[in-house]
Amino acid sequence: MILKRTGARVTVTAADLRLDLLEIRAFCERLSQKLAGLDAPLSCIDHTRQVLPELLLNRELLKRIVHNIVSGEPYPDVRRPTMFDNELILYVHPANLFSLRLYLWGAGEFTTPHDHNAWGVIGAAMEGYEVTNYRRVDDGSREGYAVLEEVSRLSLKAGETAFTLAFDEGIHMTGNAGPDTIATLHLYGKSHPRGYLNCYDMAGSRVHRLYPPRVKKKTLAAQVLTKLQGQT
């Protein structure tokens, strides 16, 4: 990418933006050719963990992408809906075989423990990323009740990866244990059509559903509409 200086300003050309997208797309197209022939999630995970460090250690590509975000360039699209407010979508396979996402973490920021609807490989592009994995020990028969126990804790260096599986097999908490803002790349497989994530309150032994913002708005609006129609 060539940053062109005009006086004190730095500008980015359309060709530069295409270069970022093309580099990501080329990586994902190579990956899709391999994943298309794999059925087992663990096989997909094994291959993805072999190749994802190619992106995680590409510091120049990461710098270009975050420069685009800061500069308000069209890629990646910060307006595209996502589940989390620190999440940006870099690529979605045309047949939804997988997606590649960038996450930005402020110092000390962590998720709550949560599960996933797909297998995934999560990787550190910078130092400080921490992953804590949990096992659900209750039988799930009581609505809103869950008990977790910690099974492992990982501190990833740049280029290192961890993985997750769908539903109860992939409950974890992740975040930035360091003093500086960091970036991570996550590649998630094809999602099961559940439509929400489970989030866990370990102190209160509780579990609740987290819906995408777009779905939550429609659900709440439908509930309000039902209430209003019942009052007429």
Return the half-sphere exposure (C-beta side, CA atoms, 13 A cut-off) of residue 121.
24
Interatomic CA distance for residues 111 and 174, integer angstroms: 6
Confidence band (pLDDT; 50, 70, 90) for 6?
Answer: very low
| Strand 148-156 relative to strand 129-136, pairing | antiparallel
Confidence band (pLDDT; 50, 70, 90) for 17?
Answer: low
Q: What is the mean pLDDT of the chain?
A: 92
Note the pLDDT tens digit of each residue in 32-71.
999 999 989 999 999 999 999 999 999 999 999 999 999 9
Interatomic CA distance for residues 220 and 232, integer angstroms: 19
Which domains occur in the chain, in start order? 3-230 (2.60.120.10)
Note the pLDDT tens digit of each residue in 212-230.
999 999 999 999 999 999 8
Note the pLDDT tens digit of each residue in 129-168.
999 999 999 999 999 999 999 999 999 999 999 999 999 9
| Contact between residue 172 and residue 113 where contact means Cβ atoms under 8 Å apart | yes
| Strand 87-92 relative to strand 129-136, pairing | unpaired
Angle between helices 14-35 and 59-71 (to 10 degrees): 130
| Contact between residue 155 and residue 177 where contact means Cβ atoms under 8 Å apart | yes
Question: 195 — phi, psi (to 5°)?
Answer: 95, 0
pLDDT for the residue 230:
85
| Contact between residue 84 and residue 102 where contact means Cβ atoms under 8 Å apart | no
**Where does residue 39 rank: exposed (0-12), middle (13-18), buried (19+ CB within 10 A)?**
exposed
